[in-house]
Amino acid sequence: MRQATAMIEVQTSRQGLVEVTRAIADWAEAQRLSEGLLTIFCRHTSASLLIQENAAPEVRSDLEAYFATIAPEDPHRYRHDDEGPDDMPAHLRTALTQVQLSIPLIDGRLALGTWQGIYLFEHRRSPHRRTLAQSIRVVEI
């Protein structure tokens, strides 16, 4: 049994969903292991993780629009605005989604469904460099 860990960096350019499936799956599958559990942990409080449909691009724009509506920018609603009007909505949108995902590795592949992609959800308006901690725990073949 062994565990591999890595930090991966994701550069975001704007608010919204950035697909990271390929980078994560490549790393996981490069460990050349048969069975295991991959955990991805987002080390931020204004960016999060989401598994969602990776086919129709409208799903992503609808998701982005939805979270802008459900946790809107509105200075009158929040006391915290240290980093601007998108600061507190970013924390709320993070709280409503996830900072951690674990995905079984079965027969050497992540057990993602056909239409599932892994996304980093950037909730701040300006570009950020985000760090994901990855850990995979494996039974060697």
Q: Do 126 and 83 form a contact (C-beta atoms < 8 A)?
A: no
Minimum gap (Å) between residue 2 Cβ and a copy of itself? 7
Please, which residue, 104 or 127, has the CB nearer to a copy of itself?
A: 104
Residue spans of alpha helices (H) in the chain: 21-30, 57-70, 87-96
Minimum gap (Å) between residue 104 Cβ and a copy of itself? 4
Q: Do 90 and 124 form a contact (C-beta atoms < 8 A)?
A: yes
Q: Which residues have C-beta within 8 Å of that of residue 89, sequence separation ≥ 6? A: 68, 71, 72, 73, 78, 123
**Following CA atoms 15, 17, 21, 24 in sequence, which dihedral angle do they give, to the nearest 10 degrees?**
30
Q: Do 85 and 75 form a contact (C-beta atoms < 8 A)?
A: yes
Q: Rule CB under 8 A: which residues touch a copy of itself?
A: 1-3, 5, 35-37, 39, 41-45, 50-53, 56, 58-59, 61-63, 66, 70-71, 77-80, 82, 88, 91-92, 94-104, 106, 111-116, 131, 133-135, 137, 139
Please, which residue, 14 or 43, has the CB nearer to a copy of itself?
A: 43
Minimum gap (Å) between residue 134 Cβ and a copy of itself? 8
Please, which residue, 116 or 125, has the CB nearer to a copy of itself?
A: 116
Q: Do 48 and 99 form a contact (C-beta atoms < 8 A)?
A: yes
Please, which residue, 23 or 101, has the CB nearer to a copy of itself?
A: 101
Please, which residue, 56 or 127, has the CB nearer to a copy of itself?
A: 56
Minimum gap (Å) between residue 108 Cβ and a copy of itself? 12
- 100: its two tokens: 């951690």
